[in-house]
Amino acid sequence: MVTIGDVARVAGVSRSTASYALSGKRSISAEVRQKVEQAVQNLGYTPNAGAKALATSQTKVLGLLARFLEDEFAPAMLQYILGVTNRAREAGYDTLLLTEEDGASALKRISDSRMVDGFILLNVAENDDRLGILRDAAQPGSLVGLPGDPTGIDVFDLDFVTAGRLMVETLHALGHRELILVSQPEHVLERGGAYVWRLANAAQERAAELGVELHHHFGSSSQPEIGGELVGLLDAHPSATGLLLNNEAAAAALPNVLQSRGLSAPADISVIGRYSDDFARTFSLPYSAIDSAADELGRLAVEHLISRIEGTADAESTVVDLVAPRIDDRGSTAVPPTRH
């Protein structure tokens, strides 16, 4: 293994000079810097990460706590993971991926052993057992997902309240007066998936304000159950003209359901979903949808975390950044059909 001692010897300088020449933390004569850089090149020197971490108390690694739950759409998680790792690398950080069931103990273990400089928590629940540990940890953290009590922690999430309102408002403006909202399964909510009711409640409220009738249903998370439920809902509410889907499985099942009933969107029914563009492309889902903004949330969370680590963030106050929802228009909304 080639060390900075080898570099120093070959360059004919001391180890401290070699170190300073590489870090640029004090001025070095051009000549010496040349020699050091040359030696680094020739020897193929790369600093030992463990030694550096020990000396500086900085690992240049972020801990990424994923949380995979039944009844949630796992591939969506991949978008967040990639958003985080890619942005982190751009900023000079690598990512330790933690996927074990018990996220709280993983967080404690990694924090105590000083393996990372900070944490990103994905899929944060309303009352997340990882938050207590994070607040006591020596390293800062950013959440992707808004918990019930975000005190003292930086949070990034889609603005699900505005998303719920936006869905209703968009169809109301087109003239719709009776809508169906299909959420994710109630299990998700019970487990702390607060975004489900945040969107649903906001939609309900906004519908009430606008005089729109809204039928809310917690759907299943997989086929073929959700297909059957969609059929049931359309049967139960034959005069509904719009369908709001906060449930990936429902979106994937809908094309079949509509086709089998001889319906098409938006001629017969308007549809707005809530899923990633990537999901839409893979399955060519033809419905306008509020994007999950996974990539953007990952980037924001990483950028803010790094500013905390490096001390450039305001130490006095934390941030709750709710990203404004944006509808990817795929042409599945229109004025409601006129009844005869």
Partner DNA sequence: CTGAAAGCGCTTACAG
Distance CA 278, CA 248 (A): 12
Binding site for a copy of itself (CB under 8 A): 1, 44, 46-51, 53-54, 59, 61, 64, 68, 73-75, 77-78, 81-82, 85-86, 89, 94-100, 109-110, 112-115, 138, 222-224, 227, 249, 252, 255-256, 259-260, 278, 281-284
Q: CB-wise, 74 or 335, nearer to a copy of itself? A: 74
Residues 215 and 180: beta-carbon distance below 8 Å: yes
Q: CB-wise, 77 or 167, nearer to a copy of itself? A: 77
**With CB under 7 A as the contact rule, which of the stretches 21-29, 120-128, 207-215, 218-226 interacts with DNA?**
21-29
14 binds, among a copy of itself, DNA, none (CB under 5 to 8 A by kind): DNA
Q: CB-wise, 112 or 329, nearer to DNA? A: 112
With a CB cutoff of 8 Å and minimum separation 6, the contacts of 133 are 104, 107, 108, 111
Taking CB under 7 A as the rule, does residue 29 contact DNA? yes
Token pair for residue 270?
A: 């308007």
Taking CB under 7 A as the rule, does residue 37 contact DNA? no
Distance CA 240, CA 84 (A): 40
287 binds, among a copy of itself, DNA, none (CB under 5 to 8 A by kind): none
Q: CB-wise, 97 or 208, nearer to a copy of itself? A: 97
Q: Which one among 28, 124, 153, 245 touches DNA, defined by CB under 7 A?
A: 28
Q: Are strands 154-158 and 141-144 parallel, antiparallel or unpaired?
A: parallel
Q: How many CB atoms lie within 10 A of CB 338?
A: 6
Taking CB under 7 A as the rule, does residue 48 contact DNA? yes
Q: CB-wise, 30 or 267, nearer to DNA? A: 30
Q: CB-wise, 98 or 194, nearer to a copy of itself? A: 98
- Sign (positive or negative) of CA dihedral 262, 199, 68, 76: positive
Token pair for residue 95?
A: 């990512």
Q: Residue 88 CB, nearest distance to DNA (Å)? A: 20
Distance CA 202, CA 168 (A): 9
Taking CB under 7 A as the rule, does residue 286 contact DNA? no
Q: If you write DSSP's letter for every residue of 253-292 in order, what string do you get?
A: HHHHHHHHTT--TTTT-EEEEE--HHHHHHTT--SEEE--
What's the distance, CA 4 to chain centroid? 40
Q: CB-wise, 32 or 76, nearer to DNA? A: 32
> How far is the CA of 303 from the CAs of 72, 87, 88, 299, in angstroms?
27, 8, 8, 6
Distance CA 196, CA 160 (A): 8
Q: CB-wise, 140 or 242, nearer to a copy of itself? A: 140
Taking CB under 7 A as the rule, does residue 27 contact DNA? yes
Taking CB under 7 A as the rule, does residue 38 contact DNA? no
Taking CB under 7 A as the rule, does residue 111 contact DNA? no
Q: Are strands 288-290 and 178-183 parallel, antiparallel or unpaired?
A: unpaired
27 binds, among DNA, a copy of itself, none (CB under 5 to 8 A by kind): DNA
What SS3 state is found at 154?
Answer: strand
Q: Residue 253 CB, nearest distance to a copy of itself (Å)? A: 8
Contact positions toward DNA, by CB under 7 A?
Answer: 1-5, 13-17, 19-20, 22-23, 25-29, 31-32, 45-48, 51-52, 54-56
